[in-house]
Amino acid sequence: MSAAAIGIVVAAFVFAGGVSGTQLHRFLPPEHMSKESRDVVMLGTGMLSVLASLVLGLLIATAKSAYDSKDTSVRTFAADMILLDETLRDYGDDALEARRALRDYATKLLHDVWPDKPASPYIIESEQGFKSLQRAWEEIRVLKATNEDQRRLVDAALAMSTALLRQRWLLIEQSGPSVHVTVIAILVSWIIAIFVSFGMNAPRNPTVYAALLICSLAMGSAIFLILELDRPFEGLLRISSRPVASAVANILPEGR
């Protein structure tokens, strides 16, 4: 289910909780709606509201931090591919095969992770794409340096290609969710309970229902934001493909 759909469902449940609270007057005995009883409910609701606010802020901060980290990793990965290609270009024509393999990998990465219709919220590469990166690394390993300058270039290229392999696995391992669905479910249950108590202490009129609706939509949008940030490779806030597209454009031109 998409983040937007989950946000709408959460808003609907929260609003339903608020509306159900306004109807409890009909079923609760009068002594349960006394001033003393309402004070206890309001006190408990206030404590729960503070706790829910803290958890909600923590979840948004966690999801945003993870999103920014993955965005930075993608930009660094793309920049390292360009730098590796420039190093191989300085080496000479003997590095053309390695550059071709690197270009193939960058092209496949762009297609696999940023397709026209996103199929996954996480990084999923084709096996063929990974083999292209491995082939580039193997081609660099067999390069023969004929002078000191070429030796330095080969050593630098080998170090960068090894770092790319490591960064690739880190990107894949870090692309999973940073916010557990159980935490969100518990938070939503708290919010629903809070809205039920709001409804219990509110009169039944259009202004109250409008306020409950607006607040419910705000809660749903907060959950939407958390889930959207936690799925960085799909949706409205998808990490930009521009760095990798730039790498594809700057690596060895087609036809060479």
Q: What is the pLDDT of residues 184-206, one digit of tens each?
A: 999 999 999 888 888 877 778 88
Q: Give the residue-averaged pLDDT of 4-26.
A: 87
Whether pLDDT at 255 is above 60: no
Q: Give the residue-averaged pLDDT of 141-149.
A: 84
Q: Which of 6, 49, 2, 63 is nearest to 220 (CA)?
A: 6
The radius of gyration of the chain from alpha carbons, rounded to an integer in Å, stands at 27
Place 220 in a pLDDT band, splitting at 50, 70 and 90: very high
Q: How far apart are CA 53 and CA 196, in angstroms?
A: 17
Q: How far apart are CA 81 and CA 248, in angstroms?
A: 9
Q: Are 136 and 157 in contact (CB under 8 A)?
A: no
- Range 132-162 burial, b when 16+ CB lie within 10 A, else e: bbebbbebbeebeeeeeebeebbebbbebbe
Whether pLDDT at 32 is above 70: no
Q: Give the residue-averaged pLDDT of 76-91.
A: 90
CB atoms within 10 A of CB 173: 9
pLDDT of the residue at 12: 94
Q: Are 230 and 63 in contact (CB under 8 A)?
A: yes
φ/ψ of 28, rounded to 5, equals -85, 140
φ/ψ of 143, rounded to 5, equals -65, 140
pTM of the full structure: 0.79
Q: How far apart are CA 110 and CA 123, in angstroms?
A: 11
Whether pLDDT at 150 is above 90: no
Q: Tell me the domain boundaries of the chain.
A: 3-250
Q: How far apart are CA 70 and CA 76, in angstroms?
A: 10
Of residues 60 and 91, more confidently modeled: 60
Place 8 in a pLDDT band, splitting at 50, 70 and 90: very high
Token pair of 51, please?
Answer: 């706790």
- With 0-12 / 13-18 / 19 or more C-beta atoms within 10 angstroms meaning exposed / middle / buried, residue 167 is middle
pLDDT of the residue at 219: 92
DSSP 70: H
Q: What is the dihedral of CA 33, 34, 36, 38, to 10 degrees?
A: 30
